[in-house]
Amino acid sequence: MSGRETAARDLVLVLNSGSSSLKYQLVSMATGGRPAAGIVGRIGEAEGRLAHSGPSGPVVRVERFPDHGAALRAVGEVLDAEGLGLGAPGLTAIGHRVVHGGDRTEPALVDDALLAEIERLVPLAPLHNPANLTGIRTARALRPDLPQAAVFDTAFHATMPEAAARYALDTATADAYRIRRYGFHGTSHAYVSRETAALLGRAPAEVNVVVLHLGNGASASAVAGGRCVDTSMGFTPLEGLVMGTRSGDLDPAIVPYLIREAGMGPDEVDELLNRRSGLAGLCGDNDMREISRRVADGDVRATLAFDVYVHRLRKYVGAYCAVLGRVDAVVFTAGVGENSAAVRAAALHGLDGFGIAVDPALNGAEGHGARLISPAGSRVAVAVVPTDEEREIARQTYQLVTGKGGTTSPGEE
Ligand code: AMP
């Protein structure tokens, strides 16, 4: 890390405001470097914690941060001490992660009308959009003159064809309640699909990619020539793949059945499906590292959880091969996708007939950057590409504010 980026106006501050946390990263669009980053956790609780890392090394502050305003002011102070604060001459813009952007396909500059629109979308993302709004309002109050952009998790998927975006529901009901497939993790899918094209030495417009974003939340997408044509998350981030604590796909009739037979209320069903299902529901653990350890020890429940997880994944890979017609690459990203060779091998096992295979040595080798793990000469490339949502938010923000691209590839940290 270095502070030299302050000289030019090329820094973007990326803010990701959760309900009780605020993550931030300062990204240099000239070098691709990240001069500073950190997180404020337990906002609103008796004892919050700010963990910062910057040019002068790590800083930790343990104190009460009553709200996001206090948290962002504290971030401003630690950045100020590095000459990188909210008033730093090099700061061009602030980019905010916003989970739900409705049918917006592009990032947008923040103004009063946009804030009202994000507010109107709160019923569709009740846990996320309010926190995102708080982050934007706080940053605006601190630097009203600085351009700010909202980069939406849903935007990359908003161009999906109607056939993929529509549920086969009564149209009047679906339209009245804005029920459609929105998709999430879009910033990651956009970034990873583009980086995959770069890894293959081809233009994004030339390649068809299946992206498997496997973190605590997990989603797959089918990307044709740089454009998303299908994705596994839908109206909410509950649909699709098996996740850490979320069920993913299930028969919707289970919901009224539980209401009638188990006497559950809507909030209990919601809690069951979002917090007590997925890997955790199947075996009691939601961390793939622990599950893999248990599988190695012959644990039956962990083995079943692993098998359900990779079976669902393989099903989506097959489905997206059909959706795309021709697939150039299958790519793994996020915590599980980047780190679990066992999941990658098991998910793609038996897909040789589709031209998809994993080279055991390449898959098992230690590696951090974007890399191929398919045997040389494979019809379909299989790759691991680390995701970087902050870099993508910074890139989109910078482009929106300046009209310039900046560097898109990971630079030195
Ligand atoms: P993310 O949401 O992308 O930060 O991913 C978090 C998840 O990645 C954790 O819950 C773990 O299950 C998984 N993970 C992280 N490191 C590893 C690893 N070395 N092997 C398997 N899974 C991992």
Same domain, 215 and 85: no
Measured CA to CA in angstroms, residue 244 lies from 34, 111, 335, 390 at distances of: 29, 36, 11, 22
Query: Is there a catalytic annotation at residue 111?
Result: no
Choosing from 10, 153, 285, 328, the catalytic residue is 153
CB of 274 within 6 A of ligand 1: the answer is no
Query: Does residue 328 lie in a domain region?
Result: yes
Query: Does residue 180 lie in a domain region?
Result: no
Q: Given this model, what pLDDT does residue 217 score?
A: 93
CA distance 214 to 210: 12
CB of 288 within 6 A of ligand 1: the answer is yes
Among 288, 306, 384, the mutation site with the greatest number of ligand 1 atoms within 8 A of its Cβ is 288
Per the DSSP assignment, residues forming a β-bridge with 211 are: 221, 331
CA distance 22 to 39: 6
Centre of ligand 1 from the C-alpha of residue 338, in Å: 8
CB of 336 within 6 A of ligand 1: the answer is yes
Question: In this structure, which residue's CA is closest to atom 2 in ligand 1?
Answer: 215
Same domain, 190 and 148: no
Number of domains forming the structure of the chain? 2
Query: Does residue 365 lie in a domain region?
Result: yes
Sequence-ordered list of residues with C-beta below 8 angstroms from that of 80, at least 6 positions apart, any chain? 86, 87
CATH of the domain at 208: 3.30.420.40
Percent pLDDT > 70 in the chain is 96
Question: In this structure, which residue's CA is closest to atom 1 in ligand 1?
Answer: 215
Query: Does residue 402 lie in a domain region?
Result: no
> Closest Cα to residue 272, out of 290, 254, 288?
254
Same domain, 214 and 347: yes
Residue 241 CB coordination number (10 Å): 23
Same domain, 141 and 199: no
Query: Does residue 408 lie in a domain region?
Result: no
Same domain, 148 and 69: yes
Query: Does residue 376 lie in a domain region?
Result: yes
Same domain, 374 and 246: yes
Q: Last residue of some domain: 93, 126, 152?
A: 152
Query: Does residue 409 lie in a domain region?
Result: no
- Domain containing 91 equals 3-152
Q: Given this model, what pLDDT does residue 367 score?
A: 86
Same domain, 337 and 286: yes
CA distance 294 to 303: 8
CB of 244 within 6 A of ligand 1: the answer is yes
CA distance 241 to 251: 14
Same domain, 300 and 197: yes
Q: Given this model, what pLDDT does residue 1 score?
A: 40
CB of 339 within 6 A of ligand 1: the answer is yes
Query: Does residue 134 lie in a domain region?
Result: yes
Q: Last residue of some domain: 152, 178, 203?
A: 152
CB of 216 within 6 A of ligand 1: the answer is yes
Residues in the chain where the model's pLDDT stays below 50: 1-7, 411-413
Centre of ligand 1 from the C-alpha of residue 257, in Å: 33
> Closest Cα to residue 14, out of 117, 136, 191?
136
Same domain, 113 and 223: no
Please tell me the number of Cα atoms within 13 Å of 237 on its side-chain side: 25
CB of 287 within 6 A of ligand 1: the answer is yes
Q: What letter would DSSP give residue 51?
A: E
Q: Given this model, what pLDDT does residue 92 score?
A: 94
Centre of ligand 1 from the C-alpha of residue 217, in Å: 10
Q: Last residue of some domain: 104, 135, 152?
A: 152
CA distance 124 to 104: 14
Centre of ligand 1 from the C-alpha of residue 340, in Å: 8
Q: Given this model, what pLDDT does residue 19 score?
A: 81
Same domain, 35 and 148: yes
Question: In this structure, which residue's CA is closest to atom 23 in ligand 1?
Answer: 336
Same domain, 249 and 310: yes
Centre of ligand 1 from the C-alpha of residue 9, in Å: 35
Question: In this structure, which residue's CA is closest to atom 19 in ligand 1?
Answer: 339
Same domain, 242 and 337: yes
Centre of ligand 1 from the C-alpha of residue 80, in Å: 33
Per the DSSP assignment, residues forming a β-bridge with 227 are: 224
